[in-house]
A and B are shown apart, each in its own frame.
Chain A
């Protein structure tokens, strides 16, 4: 198990956005979290990645080869260093930095050089900086963004920006990749590429993938297990075929075409 969430609860004043949710992810799985707008999916992500401090429950995570440990309430940058990396529903790149620099920031939590190194530029610091450029470029190449390396992130086409967010997350060397609506705003061609990319990452990078998505055909086609949330509560979970037929889920979506 790489992620084990128990009875996670998040209150905003009187509003309970996440209500006693249990969820777990095995190593190498692709798991989806779905639900209508405002169900609490992003809030769930924010709790797991440390952006919010959960009101209750427990979150444990760890690399497949290591013991899982509690990460509840830790700061976001610590959780990232622990090995959970995310993308954002509303793209949050560093718009004026180059594509390469965006990925270099992702590498940052694996670097060691400090202020003294920055000022004196000793051989170790220089070597580390050269390595960062190399590693970042290889990641860009893998995601198919290398031709844009020197471009400012904001000048990228929309689909490429979404993929750059994935590249930047990969640069942190995660064991679990959390993707918040990675296909939002993509055209069918870009979506197909994305599905392929996510599968490839799981197979080649020894990753587990946890994604939120509204695009049902993508979810059904890509994920091995699905969790469904509504009004903060978990209302169903299981294999895509099971969830698709679940009357509770169909009711929650109320007319939204689950089988599409």
Chain B
């Protein structure tokens, strides 16, 4: 109990820190024309409450992970029941046959989607898929790398502005801008990561949030280059061999680009998880002192997660700019970062299907439940807290595929080893 009170106090301190640090940018608004200052106190309250909630959720999740907190009574029962149901679904899904069918069914549905529905629905789906990629990207940093990052929208912004600006000044086309935007986002992530590697948990969050806000402010105030708050209009849509496409054709085209990026992201994240770097990430989260004592460079492992995670933000940023043909800094606020974070936490930190489902649900529900749209933030918050209590692992809890070896493989390796020994002795 005292432990929990202690944690709550820490969270309170963190939120006070946030309020103090973001005060100059979030609260004070100088109107240079009239020479007056507007105090936006409501922002301060929002930041305070928001950061407090995030910090509590994060600390709670961390404690849950180390098994220090256990839900009791009703919570435990409900949690257990939901968990059992999820396990049942999972065992069905574990069969490779079911899996192949499910994936091919999903893929077929995804390919047919734009032809079966209207442009309106296709557009909504493009947005949802965008958040799937953003979620998966952030998931590399949070779920795999174990670092709390709440400035992910900055990478999205960097990607979008890379394309818009490179196109405006140098006439660089969409396809060339894609890798450039992705690389720039990764680069910025590394630059901000280098000096902050020692920070952990919610302290790192403060720095990433500040970084995102500074990025947005630079975009907003560097009038001569970025067009300031008015943004950049007339960004060209994606081209296909110079063909002229009508609007709905372009929409379908963008949809397929997004779909390809989603598949690419899933593929890459999956490969990373089951590789040397994936192993390092798991070990680093389980015991980082032992991990570095075993010869793993924690700095390198963390920077890798930061860099590769950010790349996806940059990539979809470019697509976003090309799709909306107009961007301004207002699209990349703190809330954008918080929404992306919510998709990861709700869906299931570290779990690919979890983040996928989380992003789809969080993006599609509000679109189709318009009357509730204005309460979106409230519902997000409530959902987040409820999930933390009942199912802290998210909708679909991460389950790591441990490296195992069959008995036969084991025997053959050991026997071969013994023979090799004899050879050297002779």
Residues of A within 8 A of B (CB): 49, 51, 75-77, 80-81, 85-86, 88, 92-98, 100-101, 104-106, 108-111, 113-115, 117-119, 121, 125, 129, 133-134, 137-138, 141, 146, 149-150, 152, 168-169, 171-172
Contacts and interface: CB of A to CB of B under 8 A. Distances in A.
A114 B304 CA distance: 10
Contacts of A169: 294
A97 B18 CA distance: 36
Given A75-B292, A77-B298, A94-B286, 20 more contacts: A76-B293, A77-B293, A77-B297, A88-B290, A97-B282, A98-B402, A105-B283, A106-B295, A108-B280, A109-B295, A113-B276, A117-B275, A118-B272, A121-B271, A129-B276, A134-B413, A137-B417, A146-B414, A150-B404, A171-B294
Interface of B: 268, 271-272, 275-280, 282-283, 286-287, 289-298, 304, 308, 400, 402-405, 410, 413-414, 416-417
Contact of B287 (A94, A104, A115, A133): A94
A157 B119 CA distance: 61
Contacts of B414: 137-138, 141, 146
- 8 smallest A-B Cβ distances: which pairs? A109-B295, A118-B275, A80-B295, A92-B290, A94-B286, A150-B404, A138-B417, A76-B292
Contact of B413 (A75, A96, A138, A171): A138
A81 B403 contact: no
Contacts of A172: 294-295
Judged by DSSP, the binding face of A is helix
A48 to B, nearest CB: 12
A177 to B, nearest CB: 13
A115 B290 contact: no
6 contacts: A77-B294, A77-B296, A77-B297, A100-B405, A117-B276, A138-B414
A56 to B, nearest CB: 23
A141 B278 contact: no
A240 B45 CA distance: 69
A121 B290 CA distance: 28
A92 B402 contact: no
A189 B416 CA distance: 31
A80 B276 contact: no
A180 to B, nearest CB: 11
A104 B403 contact: yes
A51 B400 CA distance: 29
A80 B177 CA distance: 42
Contact of A92 (B277, B289, B404): B289
B290 A94 contact: yes
B271 A118 contact: yes
Given A121-B271, A137-B410, A105 B291 contact: yes
Contact of B277 (A88, A115, A168): A115
B292 to A, nearest CB: 5
B271 A119 contact: yes
Contact of B403 (A51, A96, A100, A110): A100
A214 to B, nearest CB: 22
B405 A149 contact: yes
B286 A97 contact: yes
B179 to A, nearest CB: 15
A146 B417 CA distance: 13
Contact of A108 (B271, B287, B294, B410): B294
| Residue among B295, B304, B403, B410 with most chain A CB within 10 A | B295
